[in-house]
C-alpha cells in the first residue's frame, strides 16, 4: 500500500511537471491599429465614451501611457511596419508611404508590385504585396514558430494597412476598392466564397444611404471647435463641411471614395473582421491565430477636418461603440481570457495651422512642389545646372545623380543647404550622410538617424519649426518628430495581461518583442525593441 501511494505521488509529480512545461498561448491575437489616433484622444473624449470600449480597455487592460515613435517620418506605412516588425526604416526599407527610387528614376509606392494581379475587382488597386519590406513581422514569426499551422489575416481599407502588418507569409490580406474587399495574386488566385458573399451585400452603399449626423446632440461636443470652418476640407462629392453630411446625395461616381471619410467605414471594417473570424475559424485552431485590423477612416477624417473638429470627435465616439461591440463579439466567439488584444496607432496628427493661428499659436504650411521649383531655379541661376533635383518628399531632397558630377554635386548640396536655411520655418538642413555630426537635440537626432536608409532615403534632410508641415491650406497631416505626431496610445487587453498603467517611456518598436515573449516565439529578424515586462509579469 505504501509503495502504491509512493508510485501514485511520483506519477502526479511527473504529470505536474509535464503540464507546467507545456507552452501556454492564447487562441487568437488581435492587433488593432487606429490610423492617426493621437494618444490624448483616450482622455479628451473620455467623458462621452461608453463603458465597453476605450474605458474597458483602460480599466481592465494595461496602458503604456508614454509610448513614442522612435523614427522619422511618422507616416502610415512606416508606422504599421514598425508595430509589427519591432524595427526601423533604416532596417526595414519602408522609409515612407512613398520614396524616390534612383535606379528606377521615379517615385515608388510602399506596397506596389507589378508582378501580381488584382483579385476581386478589375482595377489595378490589387497590384500590391509586401515585397518592398525587407524584414519579417511578428505575424511571420508566428507562422514560422508553428510550422505554418497558425492562420494570419490582415484587414484594412488601406492596402498598406493590411499588407505590411500581415507580413510575407500571411494566409491573406484584404483591402478596400470601390466598395469591395479585394486582394492580390500574391495571396490567392480567387476570393474565398465568404468574401464574395460579403461583397455581394454592398454594405458600403447601405451605409451611404443615410446621412452622417452627430451621434449625440451637437451641443454636447464641447471638446471641438465650431462646425463651419474655412480650413476644413469637404468629403468628396459634398460642398459643405457642416453637419449633417448628406451622404445619400453624393453622386454615385464619388460614393465609394467618399465612404472612406465617414465613421461608417470603421464599422464596415469591423463587420468584415467578424466575417473573417467566423468563416476562417480564427481562434478555433490547434495553435494561435493572428488577425491584424487597421481602422483607416479615422485618418481620412482627421486629414480632412483636423483634430479639433466635431467630425473627429464624433468619429471617435462611434469608434468607441464599434470597439465595445467587437470586444463583446470576441468574448462570445473566442472566449473571455482566450484572446490577446492590443490597440495602438501608426502616428498622430498636427492641429490645422489655421486653427492654431486663430488662437495666436504659431504654425504654418509650405508646399513641396513650390520648394523644389525654387531650388531648381536657384541651381540653374547660380550654377547653370538643369534638373539637379529629382524631387522633394518626406522632408528630404533627392538629387538627380545622372545630371551631376562628383564635383558639382558638392556645390549643389551647399547651395540647397544655404537656400533652405534661409526659410523662416526651417530650423536645420544637413546631408543625410552627416547626420551623426549635426548639432540637434534628442530625440529628434536619434529619430532622424533611425529613419535614414542609404538605399531609399534622400540626400539632404531638413527639420522645421513645431506646428509647421508640408501640406495644403485645408485640413492637416503628420510626419514629424513632435509629440502630436509621435505620441501614440498602446493598450493591452485579455490573455495574461495584468491590469494597470505605466508612465515609463516605451517605444513602438517594443510592441512586437512583447508579443514574441508572451507567445514564446522568436522576435522578428530586424527587431530592435525591448520586451515591456510589466504588461504580463
Cβ–Cβ under 8 Å, residues 185 and 314? no
Q: Which residue has the cell 468619429?
A: 315
pLDDT at 4: 53
Residue 185 DSSP symbol: T
Question: Does the global pTM surpass 0.85?
Answer: yes
Active site residue 344: no
Q: Is the dihedral of CA 237, 238, 243, 246 positive or negative?
A: negative
Classify residue 144 by burial, with Cβ atoms within 10 Å: 0-12, 13-18, 19+.
Answer: middle
Question: Residue 449 is placed in which grid cell?
Answer: 538617424
Alpha carbon of residue 163 to chain centroid: 11
pLDDT at 406: 87
Cβ–Cβ under 8 Å, residues 474 and 355? no
User: Half-sphere exposure of 292 toward its Cβ, with a 13 Å CA cutoff?
Assistant: 36
Q: Which residue has the cell 531650388?
A: 375
Maximal CA-CA distance, the chain: 104
Q: How far apart are CA 95 and CA 107, in angstroms?
A: 12
Model pLDDT for residues 38-74, shown as the tens digit of each residue: 999 999 999 999 999 999 999 999 999 999 999 999 9
Length of the chain: 537
Q: Classify 172 as helix, strand or coil.
A: strand
Question: Residue 205 is placed in which grid cell?
Answer: 452603399
Cβ–Cβ under 8 Å, residues 314 and 7? no
Q: Which residue has the cell 533635383?
A: 389
Phi, psi (deg, nearest 5) at residue 398: -100, 125
Question: Residue 208 is placed in which grid cell?
Answer: 451611404
Question: For the chain, which ranges sit under pLDDT 50?
Answer: 2-3, 6-8, 11-20
Question: Residue 458 is placed in which grid cell?
Answer: 534622400
CA angle 96–535–165, rounded 5-degree value: 30
Q: Spot the catalytic one: 67, 74, 76, 262.
A: 76
Q: How far apart are CA 33 and CA 332, in angstroms?
A: 22
Q: How far apart are CA 333 and CA 392, in angstroms?
A: 49
Find all residues with CB under 8 Å of 482, minimum gap 6, and list them: 350, 466
Find all residues with CB under 8 Å of 441, minimum gap 6, and list them: none
Question: Residue 178 is placed in which grid cell?
Answer: 470601390
Phi, psi (deg, nearest 5) at residue 79: -65, -50
Q: Classify 489 as helix, strand or coil.
A: coil
Q: Give DSSP secondary structure letters for 456-485.
A: TS-SEEEEE-TTEEES-SSS----SSSHHH
Cβ–Cβ under 8 Å, residues 101 and 398? no
Q: Give DSSP secondary structure letters for 497-512.
A: PPPEEEEEEEEGGGHH
Cα separations in angstroms, 155 against 6, 259, 263, 281, 322 = 56, 17, 17, 16, 16
Residue 245 DSSP symbol: B
Q: How far apart are CA 311 and CA 298, in angstroms?
A: 10
pLDDT at 14: 44
Cβ–Cβ under 8 Å, residues 321 and 314? no
Alpha carbon of residue 113 to chain centroid: 20
According to the 3-state scheme, what is the secondary structure of 70-129? CCCCCCHHHHHHHHHHCCCHHHHCCCCCEEEECCCCEEEECCECCCCCEECCCCCCCCEC
How many CB atoms sit inside 10 A of residue 248's CB?
12
Q: Classify 399 as helix, strand or coil.
A: strand
Cβ–Cβ under 8 Å, residues 385 and 409? no
How many CB atoms sit inside 10 A of residue 477's CB?
21
Q: Give DSSP secondary structure letters for 297-340.
A: HHHHHHHHH-TTSHHHHHHHHHHHHHHHHHHHHHIIIIITTSEE
How many CB atoms sit inside 10 A of residue 212's CB?
23
Find all residues with CB under 8 Å of 434, minimum gap 6, and list them: none
What are the chain's domains?
28-357+482-535 (3.40.720.10), 364-466 (3.30.1360.150)
The closest alpha carbon to 345, from 249, 486, 457, belongs to 486
Q: Is the omega angle on the peptide bond into residue 190 within 30 degrees of 0, that is, cis?
A: no
Question: Residue 523 is placed in which grid cell?
Answer: 522576435
Amino acid at each position: 500500500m505504501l509503495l502504491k501511494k509512493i508510485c501514485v505521488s511520483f506519477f502526479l509529480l511527473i504529470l505536474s511537471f509535464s503540464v507546467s512545461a507545456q507552452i501556454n498561448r492564447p487562441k487568437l491575437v488581435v492587433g488593432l491599429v487606429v490610423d492617426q489616433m493621437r494618444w490624448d484622444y483616450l482622455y479628451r473624449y473620455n467623458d462621452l465614451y461608453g463603458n465597453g470600449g476605450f474605458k474597458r480597455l483602460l480599466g481592465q487592460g494595461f496602458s503604456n501611457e508614454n509610448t513614442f515613435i522612435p523614427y522619422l517620418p511618422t507616416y502610415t506605412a512606416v508606422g504599421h511596419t514598425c508595430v509589427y516588425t519591432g524595427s526601423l526604416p533604416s532596417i526595414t526599407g519602408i522609409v515612407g508611404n512613398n520614396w524616390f527610387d534612383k535606379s528606377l528614376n521615379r517615385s515608388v509606392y510602399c506596397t506596389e508590385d507589378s508582378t501580381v494581379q488584382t483579385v476581386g475587382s478589375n482595377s489595378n488597386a490589387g497590384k500590391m504585396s509586401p515585397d518592398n519590406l525587407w524584414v519579417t513581422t511578428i505575424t511571420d514569426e508566428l507562422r514560422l514558430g508553428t510550422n505554418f499551422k497558425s492562420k494570419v489575416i490582415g484587414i484594412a481599407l488601406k492596402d498598406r494597412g493590411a499588407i505590411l502588418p500581415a507580413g510575407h507569409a500571411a494566409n491573406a490580406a484584404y483591402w478596400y476598392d470601390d466598395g469591395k474587399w479585394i486582394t492580390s495574386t500574391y495571396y490567392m488566385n480567387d476570393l474565398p466564397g465568404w468574401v464574395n458573399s460579403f461583397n455581394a451585400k454592398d454594405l458600403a452603399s447601405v451605409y451611404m444611404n443615410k446621412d452622417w449626423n452627430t451621434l449625440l446632440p451637437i451641443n454636447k461636443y464641447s471638446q471641438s471647435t465650431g462646425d463651419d470652418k474655412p480650413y476644413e476640407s469637404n468629403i468628396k462629392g459634398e460642398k459643405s463641411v457642416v453637419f449633417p453630411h448628406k451622404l445619400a446625395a453624393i453622386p454615385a461616381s464619388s460614393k465609394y471614395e467618399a465612404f472612406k471619410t465617414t465613421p461608417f467605414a470603421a464599422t464596415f471594417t469591423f463587420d468584415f473582421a467578424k466575417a473573417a473570424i467566423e468563416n476562417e475559424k480564427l481562434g478555433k485552431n490547434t495553435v494561435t491565430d493572428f488577425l491584424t485590423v487597421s481602422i483607416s477612416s479615422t485618418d481620412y477624417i482627421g486629414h480632412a477636418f483636423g483634430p479639433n473638429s466635431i467630425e473627429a470627435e464624433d468619429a471617435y465616439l462611434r469608434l468607441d461603440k464599434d470597439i465595445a461591440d467587437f470586444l463583446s463579439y470576441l468574448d462570445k466567439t473566442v472566449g473571455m481570457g482566450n484572446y490577446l488584444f492590443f490597440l495602438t496607432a501608426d502616428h498622430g496628427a498636427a492641429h490645422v495651422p489655421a486653427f492654431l493661428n486663430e488662437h495666436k499659436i504659431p504654425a504654418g504650411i509650405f508646399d513641396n512642389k513650390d520648394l523644389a521649383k525654387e531650388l531648381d531655379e536657384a541651381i540653374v541661376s547660380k550654377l547653370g545646372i538643369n534638373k539637379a533635383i529629382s524631387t522633394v518628399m518626406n522632408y528630404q531632397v533627392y538629387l538627380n545623380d545622372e545630371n551631376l558630377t562628383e564635383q558639382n554635386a558638392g556645390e549643389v548640396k551647399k547651395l540647397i543647404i544655404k537656400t533652405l536655411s534661409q526659410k523662416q520655418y526651417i530650423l536645420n538642413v544637413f546631408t543625410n550622410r552627416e547626420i551623426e555630426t549635426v548639432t540637434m537635440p534628442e530625440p529628434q537626432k536619434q529619430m532622424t538617424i533611425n529613419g535614414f536608409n542609404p538605399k531609399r532615403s534622400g540626400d539632404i534632410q531638413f527639420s522645421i519649426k513645431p506646428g509647421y508641415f508640408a501640406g495644403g491650406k485645408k485640413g492637416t497631416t503628420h510626419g514629424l518628430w513632435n509629440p502630436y505626431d509621435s505620441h501614440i496610445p498602446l493598450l493591452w487587453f485579455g490573455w495574461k495581461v495584468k491590469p494597470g498603467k505605466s508612465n515609463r517611456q516605451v517605444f513602438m518598436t517594443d510592441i512586437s518583442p512583447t508579443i514574441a515573449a508572451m507567445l514564446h516565439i522568436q522576435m522578428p529578424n530586424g527587431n530592435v525593441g525591448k520586451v515591456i515586462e510589466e504588461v504580463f509579469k
